[in-house]
Amino acid sequence: MQKIYVHPLPVRIWHWCNALGFIALILTGIQIRYADLVGVMSFKAAVSLHNWIGWVLVGNFFVWLLFYLFTDKIRVYHPELSPVKHFRASFRQLQYYGYGIFKGEPNPHHLSAYHKFNALQSMTYQIIMLLLVPLQFVTGILLWDLKRFSGAVEFFGGVRVVDTVHVLLFIFFTAFIFAHPYLASLGHTTWGHFKAMITGYEDVED
């Protein structure tokens, strides 16, 4: 086995702050939405905590974004295949997760320093980080001060639309918090990818 440095420090710091923050936002979000069913803290405390953590994660997002924008590590997200080949590679990866893995077939993706993600990961992480996370933040900020942002709220169709988008994304991220660690546990060992997100180094066969 050889060790390859795949997750630089800023990405690791961003990732674990983000993961903890998302879990806290989901829990305080449940307390806010189901205040009559859940009584862990007061409604006011849950709203205040939710807002503070939300702002910290907005700032933390820029650690991830600026790191990739200003280093050559952005190559890990560059599509090196044509769209058709990328789609085929994603499909092969899906087939592996849904079927091949249970038959003991080898993972079609071979990891290296600039290919740390398989086609499916690179696509889903970009959709999540460049579309869904920013949309969650923008809708959250609009709901944070409806008076100040009344013009923007009206522009997007009113408070009901903004709130519905925020809640639908909350449902997506709640599912993601379970699906993402499960998929991350399907490396060469169960904890291989988790250790790599802590130490930065992934073990790869020579």
Mark the segment that binds ligand HEM (CB under 6 A) among 40-48, 89-97, 99-107, 193-201: 193-201
Q: Answer yes or no whether residue 128 interacts with ligand HEM by CB under 6 A.
A: yes
Q: Answer yes or no whether residue 122 interacts with ligand HEM by CB under 6 A.
A: no
Three-state DSSP state, 193: helix
* Token pair for 91: 């499909």
Q: Answer yes or no whether residue 17 interacts with ligand HEM by CB under 6 A.
A: no
Task: Mention every residue, 6+ apart, whose C-beta is less than 8 A from residue 56.
Answer: 17, 21
CA dihedral angle for residue 127, residue 11, residue 69, residue 5, rounded to 10 degrees: -110
Q: Answer yes or no whether residue 4 interacts with ligand HEM by CB under 6 A.
A: no
| Residues in region 171-190 near ligand HEM by CB under 6 A | 177, 180-181, 184
Under rule CB under 6 A, how many of the chain's residues touch ligand HEM?
18
Q: Are 25 and 169 in contact (CB under 8 A)?
A: no
* Token pair for 63: 């650690």
d(CA 45, CA 141): 18
Q: How far is the CB of 121 from ligand HEM (least distance, A)?
A: 6
Mark the segment that binds ligand HEM (CB under 6 A) among 7-15, 39-47, 96-104, 149-157: 7-15
Query: Beta strands 201-204 and 2-5: pairing type?
Result: antiparallel
The site string for ligand HEM over 138-177 (x = CB under 6 A, - otherwise) reads ---------------------------------------x
